[in-house]
């Protein structure tokens, strides 16, 4: 009788261990799936970051180019204005000196 009870206890322990093992395996499977999903999202986000970085670099390059163009245009206006002022001054002087 005692031997039979001990056998039943061992069987219950064995079944309990099997249930715990299955629960742990299910958790491992769930965590593995979550890790795979997160790795996929990480790759997607990395591609987005790469595209945004490239876009930012292009925008910065265009902005720099526009600044250079603006500075050159302003320089051109200053030079042309200065030359015109000199020419007009020369013409005015010439007109005044002939009178």
- Cα(62)–Cα(56) distance, rounded to whole angstroms? 10
Q: What's this model's pTM, rounded to 2 decimal places? A: 0.54
Q: How high is the mean pLDDT in each 10-residue block of the chain (99 residues)?
A: 93 97 97 97 97 95 92 86 76 57
pLDDT digits (tens, 9 = 90+) for 33-42: 999 999 999 9
The angle at the Cα of 81, spanning 79 to 84, to the nearest 5 degrees, equals 105
For 9-68, the DSSP string reads HHHHHHHHHHHHHHHHHHHHHHHHHHHHHHHHHHHHHHHHHHHHHHHHHHHHHHHHHHHH
């Amino acid at each position: 009788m005692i031997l039979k009870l001990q056998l039943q206890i061992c069987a219950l322990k064995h079944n309990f261990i099997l249930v715990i093992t299955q629960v742990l395996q299910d958790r491992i499977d769930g965590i593995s799936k979550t890790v795979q999903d997160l790795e996929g999202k990480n790759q997607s986000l990395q591609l987005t970051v790469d595209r945004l970085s490239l876009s930012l670099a292009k925008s910065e390059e265009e902005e720099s180019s526009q600044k250079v163009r603006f500075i050159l245009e302003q320089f051109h206006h200053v030079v042309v204005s200065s030359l015109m002022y000199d020419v007009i001054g020369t013409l005015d002087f010439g007109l005044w000196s002939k009178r």
